[in-house]
Structure formats: structure tokens, C-alpha cells
A and B are shown apart, each in its own frame.
Chain A
């Protein structure tokens, strides 16, 4: 087979692609832009709604329980961590969305890998292992203490509470870790694919 035979075969491709008119292309672009904005608003609205709802709940319950210092500390910690996580989530989401596709493939892959590595395998990537249990336990305690209608110190010393917490906390933590692990597994698979691709692109240069 001649060298340019492949190019000849390729040229036999008809030109009757589903050629779109300018109006159709405009509609296609508008619907994509709208759906992207819609998704962005949905994610933003849900995150803000949950976080602000939690913060409002914590503030109200704290006001309703004056004089209980431990309860106040528990709730303040939760408010602080929730607010920090909300900001961090938006910053990381913004960076992941700002995908510069107009780069050479090799450069784009490197940028993408660096960014994903920073979030999923970087220094702070295992912070969730500490944050999830701490947040979960603080939240469960806050809710439990508030609805028991007793002082914080008294509630955590009662055997009923201890039994309830020792059963409820592991189950809740299992569900939370399972969900986070599933998401991370998908993200790490994506990262590994890009790393592998980048390696394959460059292996000729290295050898």
C-alpha cells in the first residue's frame, strides 16, 4: 500500500455531514450556554441553601440555649467550618470549570493534571478524613443536645445518649465515607487517565 493511500481513502469521505445553518448553530450554542448556566445556578443554589440553612439553624439554636458554653462552642465551630468549606468549594469548583481548551494537547493535559493533582492528591486532599468525622460528630451532638433539651455536659454523660451515638455515628460515617469514596474514585480514575495519556504523549521524547 502506498504511503498516501490512507489519505486518498480519507478523501473519499462525503461532504454531506449534518451541515448546520448559522441559525441552527446559534440555537445549539444558546441551548448549551443556557443548560450550563442552569446547572451552575442549580449547584450554587443547592450549596448555598444547605449551608445557609445549617448556619441559620445553628444560630437560632444557639440563641435559644443561652448559658450553655459547650453547646455554643460546638455550634460556633460548625458555623465556622461550614462557611470556610462553602468558600473553598466555590473556589475549587471555579478553578475546575475554567478549562483552557485552546492549548496544544500536551500543554492542556499538563495543566489539567496539575490542577486535579492539587485537589485530589495534594497536601490537603486527605483533609476530608478528619473533617467528615469531626463535622458529623459535632453536628449530631448539636442536634441531639438541642432536642434533648438538657445541658450539653449532661447529655453526653447520659448512657442513653452514649448508646445512641455509638450506634448512629458509625452508620452515618459509613454512609458519608462511602459516598465521598465513590466520588473520589471517579475523580482519581479521570486523573489517572489523563496522566497515562500525558505519559504516552511524551514517552518518545523521553526515550
Chain B
């Protein structure tokens, strides 16, 4: 069977959104624990996203306009273009791994704590 839990009741099918009942989400949203979780998440993902987009843009612009630079041999016939392209792979794998460690250590416990709290509120309301 499906769990037609609170998700349905607060995401209504009417044209005008209904106000949610039960938990006061505005209060939760402004609570210190949530504000801190949101800040932790955003101050990691935004700079990281900016970094990889700028690094990728630099690579693309070099590939599009700096053909001679990209053709410089580095070792054997492997040139600058291939090295920089492979470095894009390396940074992608690295960012992925760093994010996983960060999310497991910093995001998951904080999210879990708020979730437990909310479930408690729901059970008593």
C-alpha cells in the first residue's frame, strides 16, 4: 500500500494553495537549529558550485579559443588539452567525495535532529 501521509494534506490539489496545518513551519523555519542547517548547506554548496562552474568555464574557453596552448605537449604526445580535460575528471571526482564526507558529517545529523523533533510534535498534536 501507499503511505498517503502528511505530504498530501499540505500539497493540495486545489488551484489556490491551502495553508498547512499541524506543525508551524514558519516557526521551524526561523528556529536556530534550522537556520544553522540551512547556512551550513548553502555555505558549502554555493561556493563549491561557483568553483566548479568557473573552472569548467575556463576549460571551455581555453578549448574554444586557445588552441595553441592546448596543443602544447606535456609528456609524450599527451598535450595540455588532454591533461586539463583529465583534471576536470579529477576535480569532479574530488568534489563528489568531499561533498559526501561533508554531507554525512555535517548535514545528516542536523537534519535528523530536526526531523526527530518534528515527528515528536506531530505525534503530540
Asked if A and B are interacting partners, one says no
